[in-house]
Amino acid sequence: MHGRVGEVLQALGVPEAPLMTQARPAPSPDELASYAVDPVDVVCRRAVRMASGRAADRVGTLDVLFAVLAVYGKAFDRALYIRGTSREELLERLVSTPDRALR
């Protein structure tokens, strides 16, 4: 809930609680150990690549958001839907809301 993305999520009424859904039970430790990659690591690497691609000296919340959208896809869409918003509404607000850091 930090940065520009956090401000927009708060404006949309999304609470600070984790965006998890009850669609399926949490994986057991054994199941987690069987995953080939850590999704958090995948998100971080993708966000770093996005920031590097625009020659930024640091990763921003927009880089993280777009990495999460790419990695989690429909699961993230469902988490937003459960909280009364959508990917489209989030992206529209990001585009239409001035960035305070630029003022």
Every domain of the chain and the residues it spans: 3-21+31-98
pLDDT at 47 over 80: yes
Q: What 3 state SS string does the chain have?
A: CCHHHHHHHHHCCCCCCCCCCCCCCCCCHHHHHHCCCCHHHHHHHHHHHHHHHCCCCCCCHHHHHHHHHHHHCHHHHHHHHHCCCCHHHHHHHHHHCCCHHHC
Lowest mean pLDDT among 1-10, 23-32, 40-49: 23-32
pLDDT at 43 over 50: yes
Q: What's the pLDDT score for residue 10?
A: 82
